[in-house]
Amino acid sequence: MNKMLLLAILFVLAFSPVVAGDVKLMDKDELKGLLGSRDLVVLDVRAGRDWSASEFKIQGAVRADGADFDSWSKSYPKDARLVLYCA
């Protein structure tokens, strides 16, 4: 798991209307500290072989299509913290 985190490039999308569009990077240590939080949703947006050839997945991460953000983003509470990793 730690090894997988080394590979991850993490993005945080803030859902608040005030900061909508403000996307920041998150490093692995910050994410490790958040794992287990009730409002945290980790989304694995890797596609193709980036996902299928990799042995490592973050525990509890949900697969999502990064290009289809508008459709799945509505299914999470507005105050949820969504973390997307793509590599």
What are the residues binding other proteins (CB under 8 A)?
3, 6-7, 46-56, 86
Smallest gap from residue 53 Cβ to other proteins (A): 4
**Two structure tokens written together for 29:** 């240590």
CB 29 within 8 A of CB 23: no
Smallest gap from residue 62 Cβ to other proteins (A): 16
Which CB, 3 or 78, lies closer to other proteins? 3
Residue 82 three-state SS: strand
Smallest gap from residue 61 Cβ to other proteins (A): 15
* Cα(69)–Cα(55) distance, integer angstroms: 25
